[in-house]
A and B are shown apart, each in its own frame.
Chain A
Amino acid sequence: MTDREYLEALVAGEPDLVTAVAVLGRLEAKYGRPQARDGERWDHDLIAQLVPRGASVLDLGCGDGALLERLIRERECRGQGVDVDQEHILRCVQRGVPVIQSDLDDEKLGFPDASYDYVVLEETLQTVRLPHEVLGMMLRIGRKGIVSFPNFGHWWIRAQLLLEGRMPMSPRLNQGWHETTNIHLFTVRDFEDWCRAHGAVIHQRFAYADGQVRLLVPGDNLMAEEALFVIGPADSNTS
């Protein structure tokens, strides 16, 4: 008997769980499990559209610098990266992207308040030890912040934990619990709650679902594999 069969037997007569199990089953039947896709990350195109030409952009956890290189070349941005990994730093230098090797969790960054038009956390927030502090730093340094993250509320993630009883894995979250660098996973709803609780203004939100990028709509906490939010400090309503 699989976890799923056991669970179905166990919850017989309990409508909410039965519904949940049934919904997850139908979603799986309709969409299949999420597939890995080749090519550039889905959010690079979006960020390149969101960031105005000539803006200043600080990318926290910039990785190999691919996004910043694109913003510098295509959008004439003034770009600066921060990353912790030596190999990433070398790749950035080869791309002509300025980057500071620093651990977001351990070291203060010397950037002044409101000194960048945009601060980007591309698939980085869930990897830091102190997400609350890093978001605070983002809102201090940036006039706007762009945060993209894997949505732990996605139905496939939920199905694995609920029906298999295992830590969920997906094309994005492809390392096992014992070795994953994604140590602070959260959902669309969690992130909205944080913004509300800490006075951050949400300017825009986008979903990546079933291979498409679109505006985030109600229900996407279940449907979005990944999400991207444009946020700002409380007094940035005007823009």
Chain B
Amino acid sequence: MSDPIDVSAGEGKRKHEVDPPDHPNSVGWTHPRRIELATETNPLPLLSGRLFAPVTVEYELYGEISPAADNVILIFHALSGDAHVAGWDADWERDGRPWRNTPSGASWWDRMVGPGKALDTSRYAVLCANVLGSCYGTTGPSSTDPATGRPYGLSFPMVDVGDWVTLIVRLLDHLGIEQVLLAVGGSLGGQQVIELGLAYPDRVRGLAVLAASARLSAQGVALNFAARTAIVNDPHFAGGHYYGREFRPDAGLGVARMIGHITYLSESGMETRFEARRKEPDELKRQLFDPHRVLPRPPGGYRGHNEFDVESYLSYQASGFNERFDPNSYLYITKAMDYYDAARWGEGCLKRAFRRAQGDWLIASFTSDWLYTPAASRTLADALAANLKPVTYINIASDYGHDAFLVEVDVLEKLLTGFLEGLQR
């Protein structure tokens, strides 16, 4: 028999390595909090022009906010993320989130956040909120439209990264936080950091943008479009009103997730991890690679899925995602990702946009990331430099592609602890 394949994680560095809840470096058991931040009398003005209400936001807060509220680290999550950054969700059962009760799915950045970790919850208060349009407690397409009593589906308003930041500022107001010490996020989370820095420059002291750029490339938009097409063309999509039906567009969302995961890994990283290895038992493998065999391929007709390790990896990712994500949310959030362009703050000119920037900026890219490339991140650093703003740009050597911002914990720890020290000097 061949070795069992660990499809949940790569070799060497593991993406998810959640410390057990009783570990001294773990934030332990966490409780999601919910707050209504927009009501009929105080609706949220969206960039689309619509005034939207009601809006409930799910967020998590670890550590203690200091009396001066000057120790807050605000984390922005990426496309498929949520507010549950670290630790173990005590309420997973109540909220129907069984994947959070597993070591690989307990939380998404546990290696970075906790007592004694890079974002040290014994010193800092760490805050993260789920974005508008998502499906993890914040109002989204699966929420009930009070006007109809049914889920919004595709009548949910289009959302923008700018709307997410407006909402986050409402949350900061609610919590009495005038200025966050550090805002940090990777990928789409990094774009929220940029947007916070440009829309509300005085609300943030330090800004760490990981694996992100001012806007997604045409290639990135293309891949998002392919992913959305897979969802809307799924026969079970039903115009987005699949809620409560027997079938969801899981096949479509699965393909979307596969496309996503391909963009998160690098070519060489994939090669190292999967080596085009097949899943067959060793005996069959020997036959397949035997040049003297008359039939170099298995007899019979077309062989289906999961012949290669990388196939079973993607299938695993797709089915896991179907358990925990709403296809409509995928449409909305990838659209927001496509729309975003930080240059809108400079009438289309990125350099002009960054005139309004304040605070200390840290831009980090990863050498093998082809979704948000180092060159694109470098453009951000140059726009800051052009305005003589203090900026640190680092292009971290990594084979992990776009995923590196979740995986390269050691170098990120050095980087962020150093950056935090600098902010408080």
B388 and A94 within 8 A (CB): no
Contact A93 B360 (CB under 8 A): no
Nearest residue, chain A, Cβ from B417? A94
B388 touches A56 (CB 8 A): yes
Q: Which residues in B have their C-beta under 8 angstroms from that of A100?
A: 381, 385, 391-393
Q: Is A93 in contact with B393, judged by CB distance below 8 angstroms?
A: no
Q: Once the chains are docked, how many angstroms separate the CA of A95 from the CA of B418? A: 7
Mark contacts of B354-368 with chain A using CB atoms, 8 A cut-off: 1 yes-contact digit, 0 otherwise. Answer: 000000101000000
Cβ 8 A contact of A98, one of B391, B415, B425: B391
Cβ-defined contact, B383 with A93, below 8 A: no
Q: Which residues on the A side are within 8 Å of B351 (C-beta)? A: 110
> Are B394 and A98 within 8 A (Cβ)?
no
Measured CB to CB, the nearest residue on chain A to B411 is A90
Interface centre among A89, A97, A111 (most CB of B within 10 A): A89
Give the Cβ gap from A213 to chain B, nearest Cβ, in Å.
Answer: 30
Asked if A49 is at the interface of the complex by the 8 Å CB criterion, the answer is no
Question: Is A112 among interface residues, defined by CB-CB distance under 8 A?
Answer: yes
Instruction: Determine whether B397 belongs to the interface, using a CB cutoff of 8 Å to chain A.
Output: yes
Residues of B within 8 A of A97 (CB): 422
Q: Closest CB-CB distance, B249 to chain A, in whole Å?
A: 43
Which A residues are closer than 8 A to B by beta carbons? 56, 78, 80, 86, 89-90, 92-102, 107, 109-112, 115
Report B-chain residues with C-beta under 8 Å of the C-beta of A80. 385, 388, 390-391
Provide the B381-410 mask, 1 if CB < 8 A to any CB of A, else 0.
111011010111111110000000000000
- Asked if A98 contacts B395 (CB within 8 A), the reply is no
Cα distance A31–B421 in the bound complex, in angstroms:
46
Check B393–A102 contact: CB distance below 8 A: yes
Q: Point out the residues of chain A lying under 8 angstroms from B421, CB to CB.
A: 94, 96
B171-208 CB mask vs A (1 if < 8 Å, else 0) is 00000000000000000000000000000000000000
Given A78-B388, A99-B392, A111-B388, 6 more pairs with CB closer than 8 A:
A90-B414, A93-B392, A93-B415, A93-B418, A95-B422, A115-B388
Q: What residues of B have a CB within 8 angstroms of the CB of A101 in the complex? A: 393-395
A211 to B214, CA, bound (A): 50
Please determine whether B382 and A89 come into contact, CB atoms closer than 8 angstroms.
no
Shortest B375–chain A CB gap in Å is 9
Interface majority SS on B: helix, strand, loop or mixed?
helix
Check if B419 is an interface residue, CB within 8 A of chain A: yes
Question: Is there contact, CB below 8 Å, between A110 and B393?
Answer: no
Chain B proximity of A208: nearest CB distance (Å):
31
> How far apart sit A111 and B388, CA to CA, in the bound complex (Å)?
7
Measured CB to CB, the residues of B under 8 A from A are 351, 360, 362, 378, 381-383, 385-386, 388, 390-397, 411, 414-415, 417-419, 421-422, 425
Which A-B residue pairs are the 9 nearest by beta carbons? A110-B382, A96-B422, A94-B418, A93-B418, A98-B390, A110-B385, A110-B386, A100-B393, A89-B394
What's the Cα separation between A29 and B27 when bound, in Å?
68
Chain A hits for B386, CB < 8 A: 110-112
A-B CB contact pairs (8 Å), 16 listed: A56-B388, A78-B390, A80-B390, A86-B411, A90-B411, A93-B394, A93-B422, A95-B422, A96-B422, A96-B425, A97-B422, A100-B381, A100-B385, A100-B393, A101-B395, A115-B388
A-B contact count (CB 8 A): 71
Chain A residue with Cβ nearest B375: A107
Q: Are A89 and B392 in contact (CB under 8 A)?
A: yes
CA distance A80 to B392 in the complex (A): 9
Complex Cα distance, B273 from A34, in Å, reads 52
Cβ–Cβ < 8 Å partners of A90 in chain B: 394, 411, 414-415, 418
The distance from the CB of B285 to the nearest CB of chain A, in whole angstroms, is: 40
Chain B residues positioned under 8 Å from A107 (CB to CB): 378
Q: Verify A93–B419 contact, CB threshold 8 A.
A: yes
User: How far apart are the CA atoms of A109 and B384 in the complex, in Å?
Assistant: 11
Which of A94, A96, A102 counts the most B-chain CB atoms under 10 A from its CB?
A96
**Complex contacts, B419 vs chain A, CB 8 Å:** 93
Q: Which residues of A contact B397 (CB under 8 A)?
A: 86
Q: For B396, give the chain A residue with the smallest CB separation.
A: A86
Query: Hey, which chain A residues are within 8 Å of B378, CB to CB?
Result: 102, 107
Q: Are A93 and B391 in contact, CB atoms less than 8 angstroms apart?
A: no
Shortest Cβ gap from B382 to chain A (Å): 3
- Give the one of B381, B392, B417 with max A CB within 10 A: B392
Chain A residues within 8 Å of B417, by CB: 94
B205 vs chain A, min Cβ distance (A): 13
Looking at the assembled complex, report how far the CB atom of A97 sits from the nearest CB atom of chain B, in whole angstroms.
8
**Alpha-carbon gap, A90 to B386, bound state (A):** 23
In whole angstroms, how far apart are the Cα atoms of A99 and B361 in the complex? 10
Choose among A94, A99, A101 the residue with the greatest number of B CB atoms under 10 Å from its CB. A101
Residue of B nearest to A141 (CB): B385
CB distance from A136 to the nearest CB of B (A): 18
Which chain A residues border B382 with CB–CB below 8 Å?
A: 109-110
- How far, in whole Å, are A203 and B421 apart by their CA atoms in the complex? 38
Contacts of B394 in A (CB 8 A): 86, 89-90, 93, 101
In the assembled complex, the Cα of A93 lies from the Cα of B360 at a distance in Å of 11
* Centre residue among A93, A95, A107, A109 by max chain B CB count within 10 A: A93
